[in-house]
A = this chain, B = another copy of it.
Amino acid sequence: MPAALWCHQAMQKNRLEAFSDGVIAIIITIMVLELKGPHRTDIAALKPLLPVFLSYVLSFVYVGIYWNNHHHMLHATKHVNGSILWANLHLLFWLSLFPFTTGWVGENHLDSGPVAVYGIVLLMAALAYYLLQRAIIAGQGRDSLLAKALGTDWKGKLSPVLYLTAIVLAFVNPWIASGTYVLVAAIWFIPDRRIERVLEHRE
């Protein structure tokens, strides 16, 4: 492929990535605005902030995972079309609700309502990610790099089931529900070597 054409397609995709990076960067950063310095100044005064801090850490890791996988997925994408642009915006929409749910969970020390809503937004984001994946594969063909790289996609299939379970569990025991969110994050935290490996093979 001539350099100019390669460059051209890369630039196209580049803008989608740049915009997504911008939105994700803002989401990941404004969540910290929920952390407000207490009026007292001793270290113990920070203790009530602990649940806010922990929910921030969890959401930071989640947004980090999404950014990471988004990075890998688009790395394996060649053409960008209208459906991909909108599927991407749809994903960003659900991610943009993370600061809201994170703040609500943190302020209320893991109450049932906020924990369930936190899970609903996680579920919707997972669904949106799946739809984006579909849109990209539809544009590249079933034999494409991405389709191969995904393989059985067991993580992508297991996560929604775990989220659903956790949403129901939130009304029984919000701590177990929250633990399930941590578990899903841990599953994904192990970086998605699948795409990386296939790309390395090619290069």
Contact = CB atoms under 8 A, between A and B. Distances in A.
A19 B8 CA distance: 19
B25 A19 contact: yes
Contacts of A36: 100, 103
A197 to B, nearest CB: 11
A141 to B, nearest CB: 17
A178 interface: no
A131 to B, nearest CB: 15
Interface string A24-53: 111111101101111011110110000000
Given A14-B11, A42-B113, A86 B68 contact: yes
Contacts of A57: 93
Contact of A3 (B4, B43, B85, B93): B4
Contacts of A15: 17, 21, 71
Interface stretch (A104-112, A145-153, A154-162): A104-112
A82 B191 contact: yes
A31 to B, nearest CB: 8
Interface string A66-90: 0110010001000001110110010
Contacts of A54: none
Contacts of A24: 19, 22
Nearest to A108: B41
Interface of A: 1, 3-4, 6-8, 10-12, 14-19, 21-30, 32-33, 35-38, 40-43, 45-46, 57, 60, 64, 67-68, 71, 75, 81-83, 85-86, 89, 92-93, 96-97, 99-100, 103-104, 107-108, 111-114, 116-117, 191-193, 196
11 contacts: A6-B8, A10-B11, A11-B14, A22-B24, A25-B25, A27-B29, A37-B103, A60-B93, A64-B86, A81-B196, A82-B191
